[in-house]
């Protein structure tokens, strides 16, 4: 397709959860839970008059359906704020600071005063019937290989409740109130490939802060597509970055097909499906339905804080990769995976004096192997991994014990207890020699039948696996066999 002739224009809207300790408008921890709820709360949507005395048409229509919405409440990650029984607290300063860093990296003009607004959401995913959002920055840009792409706005907002059962309207309240940034680019993208590059650049920039969440489900990407003779379509929830070009191509194709058949097209919101095609959701609404959140005071942006942020902007991931290759002499493959996924914990480990090769192979290879085995590596706590690496550094465990401990850390958080539970405490060479001698004594007849080294190695390893370096075992076994036979 000739994109220039078609007059393709694409804009991106990226939502990314921030890795703060607590939520945006209360002190609940910023984490998901996966168990049965502690309480169930049932609600019905009820329209009310706005400050101007009107009732929102869409709200009225929804309310007339009389739909019951069920919320799953958890004592450890929810409070009265999520169920709209207590006013929101002032916005989390940690989340504000992260959004300032992101706005600076996007070369945006940060607003002087922050106002929390309410955006009407009536699908049940927000208990209050609105989502709170605040504008942080305007008119930024990112650099790409095909030039600058404008960033229209950067907002900080609260995430919605998680849908658990669509048919029964069951939502889980753990995610409600988690802070996320929303970045909207201008429609400066003119080919599907440029759209992918722009999304990748945005992702790299956000990850370079070290303060956004990683893993599945923490990012939501919407893609706006229009062509000269067609209409504007907002495509929601493109799951993976790699799908963006195909989603754009398919949407343009859809519009061209409709035009050819003489069908009437309308601006609309569609949702992306697994095969990159899209499904109609609703007509594109006009101006956003926003009004002021009267329970939160406006916030004057602290200019001194902005100065400090400007002076300490994070290193870009490209620079970091270069540094890892040069300074740490890591392979390109390992270094690029660390930079993309786990650079923070790697740098923390190196700062603690943990061997960089062991830290790198643990964070890349071991975690990948464990994930393949079905271990939920996304639930691992960074601090637990650091503690395991420290146990190795202090000689408590052999290198071989690292994956075994990581696999079991979710069961027992106390590393020392876990080491004893799994019988992984390191032994030294003289303890090993005693074990080898004992095994020889017990199995002398069997060893005489041939291939003594292999048999003995098997017997000893069964007892000391993970407690001492395998190469030392090999060495001791060889020595002892030689001295006997």
Cβ 41 to Zn ion shortest distance, Å: 13
Kindly tell me which of 96 and 252 has the beta carbon lying closer to Zn ion.
96
**What is each CA distance from 173 to 38, 41, 70, 400, in whole angstroms?**
11, 10, 10, 41
Kindly tell me which of 76 and 229 has the beta carbon lying closer to Zn ion.
76
| Dist. CA 212–CA 380, nearest whole Å | 16
Cβ 30 to Zn ion shortest distance, Å: 10
Q: Please work out the total of residues on this chain that contact Zn ion, with binding judged by CB under 5 A.
A: 5
Q: Interface with Zn ion includes 176 (CB under 5 A)?
A: no
Cβ 79 to Zn ion shortest distance, Å: 3
| Dist. CA 109–CA 112, nearest whole Å | 9
Question: Going residue by residue from 64 to 83, which x/- string records binding to Zn ion, judged by CB under 5 A?
Answer: ---------------x-xx-
The residues in 327-346 that bind Zn ion, with binding defined as CB under 5 A, are none
Kindly tell me which of 28 and 398 has the beta carbon lying closer to Zn ion.
28
The helix or strand, by DSSP H or E, that contains position 431, with its residue range, turns out to be: helix 429-442
Q: Interface with Zn ion includes 95 (CB under 5 A)?
A: no
Question: Which range of residues in 2-10, 19-27, 121-129, 284-292 is near Zn ion by CB under 5 A?
Answer: 19-27
The number of residues making up the chain comes to 485
| Dist. CA 266–CA 280, nearest whole Å | 11
**What is each CA distance from 39 to 71, 74, 78, 124, 203, in whole angstroms?**
8, 7, 10, 17, 37
Question: Going residue by residue from 264 to 303, which x/- string records binding to Zn ion, judged by CB under 5 A?
Answer: ----------------------------------------
Cβ 100 to Zn ion shortest distance, Å: 23
Residue 322 tokens, joined: 């270069």
Cβ 23 to Zn ion shortest distance, Å: 6
Cβ 214 to Zn ion shortest distance, Å: 23
Kindly tell me which of 28 and 59 has the beta carbon lying closer to Zn ion.
28
Would you call 138 helix, strand, or coil by DSSP?
strand
Kindly tell me which of 88 and 230 has the beta carbon lying closer to Zn ion.
88
| Dist. CA 355–CA 346, nearest whole Å | 10
Cβ 25 to Zn ion shortest distance, Å: 8
Pair type for strands 268-272 and 130-144 = unpaired
Pair type for strands 68-73 and 113-114 = unpaired
Residue 450: CB atoms within 10 Å: 8
Which residue in 28, 225, 334, 468 binds Zn ion (CB under 5 A)?
A: 28
DSSP 398: -
Kindly tell me which of 81 and 338 has the beta carbon lying closer to Zn ion.
81
Kindly tell me which of 102 and 173 has the beta carbon lying closer to Zn ion.
173
Kindly tell me which of 27 and 365 has the beta carbon lying closer to Zn ion.
27
| Dist. CA 334–CA 321, nearest whole Å | 10
Question: Which range of residues in 28-36, 63-71, 334-342, 421-429 is near Zn ion by CB under 5 A?
Answer: 28-36
Question: Which range of residues in 20-28, 56-64, 86-94, 292-300 is near Zn ion by CB under 5 A?
Answer: 20-28
The residues in 414-433 that bind Zn ion, with binding defined as CB under 5 A, are none
Kindly tell me which of 37 and 403 has the beta carbon lying closer to Zn ion.
37
Question: Which range of residues in 23-31, 132-140, 230-238, 364-372 is near Zn ion by CB under 5 A?
Answer: 23-31
> What are residue 223's DSSP bridge partners?
12, 235
Cβ 173 to Zn ion shortest distance, Å: 9
Pair type for strands 130-144 and 147-158 = antiparallel
| Dist. CA 48–CA 55, nearest whole Å | 6
Q: Interface with Zn ion includes 26 (CB under 5 A)?
A: yes
3-class secondary structure for 432-464?
A: HHHHHHHHHHHCHHHHHCCCHHHHHHHHHHHHH
**What is each CA distance from 267 to 146, 191, 270, 312, 424, in whole angstroms?**
28, 20, 10, 43, 63
Q: Tell me the H-state helices in 53-158.
A: 57-64, 93-105
Cβ 262 to Zn ion shortest distance, Å: 53
Residue 208 tokens, joined: 């370079």
Cβ 34 to Zn ion shortest distance, Å: 18
Cβ 28 to Zn ion shortest distance, Å: 3
Cβ 207 to Zn ion shortest distance, Å: 27
Residues 6 or more apart in contact with residue 261 via CB below 8 angstroms: none
Kindly tell me which of 28 and 114 has the beta carbon lying closer to Zn ion.
28
Cα 204 off chain centre by: 13
Kindly tell me which of 26 and 183 has the beta carbon lying closer to Zn ion.
26
Kindly tell me which of 159 and 222 has the beta carbon lying closer to Zn ion.
159
Question: Which range of residues in 26-34, 399-407, 415-423, 471-479 is near Zn ion by CB under 5 A?
Answer: 26-34
Residues lying near Zn ion in the complex (CB under 5 A): 26, 28, 79, 81-82
């Amino acid at each position: 397709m000739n994109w220039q002739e078609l007059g393709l224009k694409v804009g991106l809207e990226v939502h990314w959860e921030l890795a703060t300790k607590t939520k945006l408008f209360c002190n609940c921890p910023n984490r998901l839970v996966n168990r049965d709820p502690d309480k169930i709360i049932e609600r019905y949507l009820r329209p009310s008059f706005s400050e101007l005395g009107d009732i929102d048409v869409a709200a009225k229509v929804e309310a007339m359906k009389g739909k019951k919405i069920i919320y799953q409440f958890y004592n450890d990650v929810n409070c009265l704020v999520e169920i709209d029984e207590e006013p929101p607290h002032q916005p989390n300063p940690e989340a504000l600071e992260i959004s300032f860093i992101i706005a600076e990296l996007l070369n945006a003009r940060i607003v002087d005063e922050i106002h929390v607004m309410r955006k009407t959401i009536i699908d049940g995913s927000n208990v209050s019937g609105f989502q709170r959002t605040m504008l942080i920055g305007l008119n930024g840009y990112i650099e790409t290989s095909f030039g600058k792409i404008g960033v229209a706005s950067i907002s900080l907002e609260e995430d919605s409740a998680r849908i658990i059962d669509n048919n029964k309207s069951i939502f889980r309240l753990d995610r409600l109130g988690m802070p996320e940034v929303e970045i909207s680019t201008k429609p400066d993208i003119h080919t599907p490939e440029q759209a992918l590059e722009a999304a990748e650049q945005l992702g790299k920039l956000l990850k370079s802060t070290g303060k956004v969440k990683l893993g599945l489900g923490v990012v939501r990407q919407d893609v706006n597509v229009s062509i000269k003779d067609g209409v504007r379509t907002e495509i929601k929830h493109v799951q993976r970055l790699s799908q963006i070009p195909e989603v754009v191509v398919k949407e343009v194709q859809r519009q061209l097909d409709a035009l050819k058949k003489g069908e009437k097209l309308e601006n609309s919101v569609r949702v992306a499906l697994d095969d990159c095609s899209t499904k109609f959701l609703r007509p594109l609404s006009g101006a956003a339905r926003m009004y002021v959140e009267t329970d939160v005071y406006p916030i004057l942006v602290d200019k001194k804080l902005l100065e400090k942020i400007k002076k300490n902007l994070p290193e870009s991931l490209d620079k970091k990769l270069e540094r890892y290759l040069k300074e740490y002499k890591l392979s390109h493959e390992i270094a690029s995976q660390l930079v993309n996924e786990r650079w923070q914990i790697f740098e923390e480990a190196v700062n603690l004096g943990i061997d960089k090769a062991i830290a790198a192979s643990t964070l890349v290879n071991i975690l990948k192997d464990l994930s393949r085995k079905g271990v939920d590596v996304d639930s691992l706590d960074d601090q637990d991994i650091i503690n395991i690496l420290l146990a190795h550094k202090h000689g408590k465990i052999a290198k071989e014990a690292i994956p075994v401990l990581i696999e079991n850390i979710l069961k027992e958080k106390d590393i020392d207890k876990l080491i004893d539970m799994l019988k992984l405490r390191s032994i030294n060479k003289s303890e090993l020699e005693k074990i080898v001698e004992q095994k020889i004594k017990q199995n002398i007849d069997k060893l005489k039948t041939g291939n003594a080294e292999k048999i003995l190695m098997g017997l000893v390893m069964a007892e000391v696996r993970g407690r001492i370096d395998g190469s030392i075992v090999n060495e001791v076994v060889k020595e002892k066999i030689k001295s006997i036979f």
